[in-house]
Amino acid sequence: MAATRVEVEVEGRRLSLSNLDKVMYPAVGFTKGQLIDYYTRIAPVLLPHLRDRPLTLKRYPNGVDGGHFYEKRCPPHAPEWVRRQEAAGINFCVCDDLPTLVWLANLADLELHPSLSLVDEILRPTVMAFDLDPGPPAGLGECCDVALILREALGRLGLESFAKTSGSKGIQVYVPLNVEDVDYDGGTKPLSNALARHLEAQHPDLIVSSQKKELRRGKVLIDWSQNDEHKTTVCVYSLRARERPTVSTPLAWEEVEAGDPDALVFEADDVLDRVEERGDLFASVVELKQELPAL
């Protein structure tokens, strides 16, 4: 049977959308059409966090149970109006607008993984990021505890931070920088590593800074290694390839302080409602300017 296609116009761009009734999340019947609808509706708050950034695609053409593959290089079949730009020797897609976002969703690019840098200055991070990853039986509750410890430590350095769920099993803490005089190797990487090791020494029963699995049981890994020009991190408001269509969702610090794991899992419809009520809780990540302290 031939694939069904629908021709649409998005902000003056013509797109051919296919297989809109294909189920992407079998456990709940969430379809490709719903995937495209979610990204279309969340675009006003999502696009500022994608704009001007190299984007790694993580595609699930047969849904979350059907395997996936990564694409760093922008596909050769991309429409001519999709922005392509070279960084670190790779010709990336850059998602600056709604037509590109809809095109990506139609490719079943379910998860969006941008760089912590802008494409024109790949060696200059605009943010320092910490990925808090629990080792069972630790979970989201313990991640909340560590996020608060990390926020306090960053505050002592004069840095404001912002939390979001990973959309999976952990929490991520972002420190906006948005200044000129910063890099990875002499800035965010050594500082984040030193801070993770310091907090591990202070809280050895709760925090670990090493990736070694045998050290992580019942503790929360402060993964500082995302602070690297070669890595990408799941974008705020991105869907995740879990059993249900969960989303990497910005949190208010009072939600982290409450520490209720059941209240910190958000699906696509939940996030659309939250944004309508509360706006973009992560807006400061692309706006706030902060200098890193000297090591």
- Alpha-carbon span 64 to 55, nearest angstrom: 20
Band the pLDDT of 112: cuts 50, 70, 90. Answer: very high
Residue 233 has pLDDT above 80, yes or no: yes
Section 41-48 average pLDDT: 98
Q: What percent of the chain has pLDDT over 70?
A: 99
Tokens of residue 284, six digits: 């400061």
Cβ neighbors of 186 (< 8 A, separation 6 or more) are: none
Domains and CATH numbers, the chain: 5-120 (3.90.920.10), 123-286 (3.30.70.3300)
At residue 89, the pLDDT reads: 92
Cα angle 144, 149, 152; round to 5? 125
Q: Per-residue pLDDT tens for 162-191?
A: 999 999 999 999 999 999 999 999 999 999
Task: Walk across the sheet containing 250-251 and list its strands.
Answer: 207-208, 220-223, 127-134, 171-176, 162-165, 250-251
Q: Per-residue pLDDT tens for 66-89?
A: 999 999 999 999 999 999 999 989
Residue 2 has pLDDT above 70, yes or no: no
- Which of these ranges, 24-28, 215-219, 274-278, has the smallest mean pLDDT? 215-219
Residue 1 has pLDDT above 50, yes or no: no
Q: Where are the beta strands (DSSP E) in the chain?
A: 5-10, 13-18, 23-25, 30-31, 54-59, 69-71, 83-87, 90-94, 111-114, 117-118, 121-125, 127-134, 162-165, 171-176, 207-208, 220-223, 250-251
Mean residue pLDDT across the chain = 96
